[in-house]
Chains A and B, each alone.
Chain A
Amino acid sequence: MKALILVGGYGTRLRPLTLSKPKPLIEFCNKPMILHQIEALVEANVNHIILAVSYRAEMLEKALKAEEERLKIRISISFEEEPLGTAGPLALARHLLLEDNEPFFVLNSDIICDFPFQEMILFHKMHGKEGTIAVNKVNEPSKYGVVVYDNRGQIKEFIEKPQEYISNRINSGLYIFNTSILNRIQLKPTSIEKEVFPEMAKDGQLYAFELKGFWMDVGQPKDFLMGMSLYLEFLRDTQPLSLHQGPGIYGNVLIDPTAKIGPNCRIGPNVSIGPNVVIEEGVCIKRCTILRDSSVKSHSWLDNCLIGWKCCIGRWVRMENTCVLGEDVIVKDELYLNSVKVLPNKSINASVPEPNVIL
């Protein structure tokens, strides 16, 4: 079985992290984002994964080569000369998708959930129509594609970013299609949500599969941290031993075994700490991701931060409200950063008390 993952462009919403690494390789809970999807697809017997990307990234290709060998699957990269939107890449990869007549998965690359792909396949085969969209319930549906369907799951309406409330079920960004969908899509920039789904719905060819577990689009920092919290809770239910326990650890905390945590720290809830990270004495960290090779010096306090690779945070630093540090950022002692995005290789020498971007 095949799957196509819509990776797309530069991942600007996750800058400054994506200035150092292609988005699919950014570690979400200590595993590259794309691997969460790829490994779940492999579990569901997918053996050929096509990545639709619109920019060349040697780093990505190299990493995927390694995964290809490790997972013993085929990974193709379908490169777009110009961005083709969310449907165009299917036309571009047409020759790969038509290698057999099996249905295939299509995934938005920013999605984190428990990926119930096997149940999706069963559901898709059961209704026998052209497409299945995973849907989930959210509180604020207006920024998503909203789906209205009947009790058998047949989709009646698909409206992208509606102005007024229609339903609280939204498109989760995980699909299964029969190859016949390719007849609806031409090789040009096309939106699958705006141009293809409404037509399929009209034809009665689109069904909704309800996700039961957590779901998050982690394409921007705030949602990344939210998604992290949900994923750690998911780990608590499914693999509790992967979470860290001990004195000073509160709630769900994931710590790579190579990371070092000093005495008298207060870590958690909802913290993910990457390989070789060093947390010195008396540090308090809540709701943060700290990527590999970074260090946090004594007595600092971090809440709601995304710390990039090789960063060094000084002593008595306070950072909060979705600060994002790019790779190799140094924050000097005793500073306060409030909702600040710092681009890679910067050294911060003065407090930034108001939301700002440090170039």
Chain B
Amino acid sequence: MIKAVILIGGPQKGTRFRPLSFDTPKHLFPVGGRPMVQHLIEACAKVDGLKEIFLLGYYQVDNSLNSFIRNMMAEYNVNIRYLQEYTTLGTCGGIYHFRDQICRHNPEAFFLINGDVCGDFNLPAMLNFHRSIPKSEEGAMTVMVTEATRQQSLNYGCVVEEKETHKILHFVEKPSTFVSTIINCGVYLCPLNIFNQVAAVIKAKQESNTSETGDERYADDYSDLNISKTNDDLPEILSLEEDILTRLAGTDHLYAFHTNQWWCQVKTSASAIYANRNYLKLYKENQSQFLSAKSQDGPEIIGDVWIDSKADVDPTATIGPNVTIGPGVRVGAGVRIKESIILKDAMIGDHSLILHSIIGYNTVIGCWTRIEGTPSDPNPDKAFAKMENQTLFNKDGKLNPSITVLGSNVQVPSGLLVLNSIVLPHKELGRSYRNEIIL
């Protein structure tokens, strides 16, 4: 038996995904028409013998989470449970805390997946690779890795491996100088005795805590899922990357599984547009029934487009490429939408144009408006280039041009322009905005 744990973090995390994360936990944000985490659940459900998936985080349980889990169980015929941490325990502290749940029924191994990664994951292949590793007594852990550019590798966990065996010789999280172009994808396959390793680390930390205070290793913490400095004196708060992978590298217990498929991390809202496009592309390859096609009385469709069956799109509209339109959305006459995500119940007035933008729930856009963002896609001329999860502001303190995000329940009157801007929920715009954050 196999299990899986998907780390979905908590409300204090995913701040770079604001304002969209105000309304929905980031991992329930729809890309390709379905919540981000659903794509991961679907990838898990393709693994033979995978019986149980845990969503691990510190969100308060609510109806949306419960109904999401119910729907997922029905759709994928797999047991799914939410494990709520009492506080943010880091990428490893949480699984250790719930180790009894994970170990119950003695599974062969469990997948551990960072909830903010998107991609075309072939988990059965990863499991086959894992099973082919010459087993030592303690068992080994497998890390999914991919290739990045030299420069971008510095933003990720970098892996150095032994070429023939894929044994990981060295692991370092976000190095300041170049180490390797092979990076950690945030998808792992762990043997149960990983918990023995974790126990040893906790013991070592407890011992060091009594002799020294503070630990500068956590000072440079950018990852949403890594633990924060304020809590790091709690020995049960553990980072998988820094506390475990770093230690396991160079032993016989850590192996790299390579993927060349599309992969990205969703940190900023701009990366949601990129992930959306790539999931739509995957549908075209594997599940083309999800994509909209031009019909007799439907709108003009260009490229990959997902329109929810409960959306109402005027036949004179032109949609695509790379657009997802959620349920209850109304799109008026002569509207043009391209490279964008329109969330549930939004309304787009006649003749408006939406480019590289995310339109929030219930947001109402008038006629002849122009909602436009600037894409920040991976450099197409560079092999292995990844999405830049760029910072909001540049060195001069100016807003970096990025996609336009309208939060939920925003109102944009007719004739206005919103360019490269972020509008927080419940705003009624009175004029055009360019390169601004509208509180």
User: A residues within 8 Å of B by Cβ?
Assistant: 264, 266, 281-284, 298-299, 301, 303, 315-316, 318, 320, 334, 336, 351, 353
Which of B97-105, B210-218, B349-357 lies at the binding interface?
A: B349-357
Of the candidates B338, B353, B372, B419, the one whose C-beta lies within 8 Å of that of A299 is B353
Query: B370, A336: Cβ atoms under 8 Å?
Result: yes
* Interface residue B417 (Cβ < 8 Å from any Cβ of A): yes
Q: Which residues of B contact A283 (CB under 8 A)?
A: 351
The 6 closest A-B pairs by CB, nearest first: A299-B351, A316-B353, A282-B334, A301-B368, A299-B334, A284-B368
Query: A264, B333: Cβ atoms under 8 Å?
Result: yes
Once the chains are docked, how many angstroms separate the CA of A266 from the CA of B366?
14
Task: Summarize A's interface: helix, strand, loop or mixed.
Answer: loop
Once the chains are docked, how many angstroms separate the CA of A316 from the CA of B368?
8
Query: A336, B419: Cβ atoms under 8 Å?
Result: yes
Q: Which residues of A contact B367 (CB under 8 A)?
A: 284
B401 closest partner in A (C-beta): A353
Of the candidates A282, A303, A353, the one whose C-beta lies within 8 Å of that of B351 is A282
Query: A353, B419: Cβ atoms under 8 Å?
Result: yes
Once the chains are docked, how many angstroms separate the CA of A282 from the CA of B355?
19
Instruction: Given A284-B415, A316-B353, check contact A298 B334 (CB 8 Å).
Output: yes
A283 closest partner in B (C-beta): B351
* Interface residue B3 (Cβ < 8 Å from any Cβ of A): no
Q: Which residues of B contact A281 (CB under 8 A)?
A: 334
Known interface pairs A299-B336, A351-B372, A353-B434; 18 further A-B residue pairs with C-beta atoms within 8 A, sorted by A's residue number: A264-B333, A264-B334, A284-B351, A284-B415, A298-B334, A299-B353, A299-B368, A301-B368, A301-B370, A301-B415, A315-B336, A316-B336, A318-B370, A318-B417, A334-B336, A334-B355, A336-B370, A336-B372
Tell me the smallest distance from the CB of A345 to a CB of chain B, in Å: 26
Query: A334, B353: Cβ atoms under 8 Å?
Result: yes
Please report which residues of chain B, range 405-427, place their CB below 8 angstroms from some CB of chain A when the two chains form the complex: 415, 417, 419
A333 closest partner in B (C-beta): B336
Tell me the smallest distance from the CB of B29 to a CB of chain A, in Å: 26
Tell me the smallest distance from the CB of A270 to a CB of chain B, in Å: 15
Once the chains are docked, how many angstroms separate the CA of A303 from the CA of B414?
13
Tell me the smallest distance from the CB of B72 to a CB of chain A, in Å: 38
Please report which residues of chain B, range 324-339, place their CB below 8 angstroms from some CB of chain A when the two chains form the complex: 333-336, 338
Q: Which residues of A contact B370 (CB under 8 A)?
A: 301, 316, 318, 336
Q: Which residues of B contact A351 (CB under 8 A)?
A: 372
Q: Which residues of A contact B353 (CB under 8 A)?
A: 299, 316, 318, 334
Once the chains are docked, how many angstroms separate the CA of A336 from the CA of B353?
11
Q: Which residues of A contact B334 (CB under 8 A)?
A: 264, 281-282, 298-299
A320 closest partner in B (C-beta): B417
Once the chains are docked, how many angstroms separate the CA of A301 from the CA of B351?
9
Tell me the smallest distance from the CB of B279 to a CB of chain A, in Å: 24
25 interchain pairs, CB-CB under 8 A: A264-B333, A264-B350, A266-B368, A282-B333, A282-B334, A284-B367, A284-B415, A298-B334, A299-B334, A299-B336, A301-B351, A301-B368, A301-B370, A301-B415, A303-B415, A316-B336, A316-B370, A318-B417, A334-B336, A334-B338, A334-B355, A336-B370, A336-B417, A336-B419, A351-B372
A351 closest partner in B (C-beta): B372
Q: Mark B314-346, 1 if CB is under 8 A from A, else 0.
A: 000000000000000000011110100000000
Q: Which residues of B contact A336 (CB under 8 A)?
A: 370, 372, 417, 419
Once the chains are docked, how many angstroms separate the CA of A336 from the CA of B372?
9
Once the chains are docked, how many angstroms separate the CA of A320 from the CA of B434?
14
A315 closest partner in B (C-beta): B336
Once the chains are docked, how many angstroms separate the CA of A268 from the CA of B334?
20
Q: Which residues of B contact A318 (CB under 8 A)?
A: 353, 370, 417
B355 closest partner in A (C-beta): A334
B354 closest partner in A (C-beta): A316
Once the chains are docked, how many angstroms separate the CA of A298 from the CA of B300?
14
Q: Which residues of B contact A264 (CB under 8 A)?
A: 333-334, 350-351
Once the chains are docked, how many angstroms separate the CA of A316 from the CA of B351?
7
Q: Which residues of B contact A299 (CB under 8 A)?
A: 334-336, 351, 353, 368
Once the chains are docked, how many angstroms separate the CA of A318 from the CA of B353?
9
Query: B419, A282: Cβ atoms under 8 Å?
Result: no
Q: Which residues of A contact B338 (CB under 8 A)?
A: 334
Q: Which residues of B contact A284 (CB under 8 A)?
A: 351, 367-368, 415
Once the chains are docked, how many angstroms separate the CA of A132 from the CA of B350?
55
Q: Which residues of A contact B335 (CB under 8 A)?
A: 299
A303 closest partner in B (C-beta): B415
Q: Which residues of A contact B415 (CB under 8 A)?
A: 284, 301, 303
Q: Which residues of B contact A315 (CB under 8 A)?
A: 336
Once the chains are docked, how many angstroms separate the CA of A316 from the CA of B354?
10
Q: Which residues of B contact A334 (CB under 8 A)?
A: 336, 338, 353, 355
Please report which residues of chain B, range 33-78, place their CB below 8 angstroms from some CB of chain A when the two chains form the complex: none
Tell me the smallest distance from the CB of B190 to a CB of chain A, in Å: 48
Of the candidates A282, A320, A353, the one whose C-beta lies within 8 Å of that of B350 is A282
Once the chains are docked, how many angstroms separate the CA of A334 from the CA of B353?
8
Q: Mark B196-218, 1 if CB is under 8 A from A, else 0.
A: 00000000000000000000000
Q: Mark B356-399, 1 if CB is under 8 A from A, else 0.
A: 00000000000110101000000000000000000000000000
B414 closest partner in A (C-beta): A284
Once the chains are docked, how many angstroms separate the CA of A266 from the CA of B350?
12
Q: Which residues of A contact B350 (CB under 8 A)?
A: 264, 282
Once the chains are docked, how many angstroms separate the CA of A316 from the CA of B334?
9
Q: Which residue among B334, B335, B355, B417 has the maximum number of chain A CB atoms within 10 Å of its CB? A: B334
Once the chains are docked, how many angstroms separate the CA of A303 from the CA of B416?
11
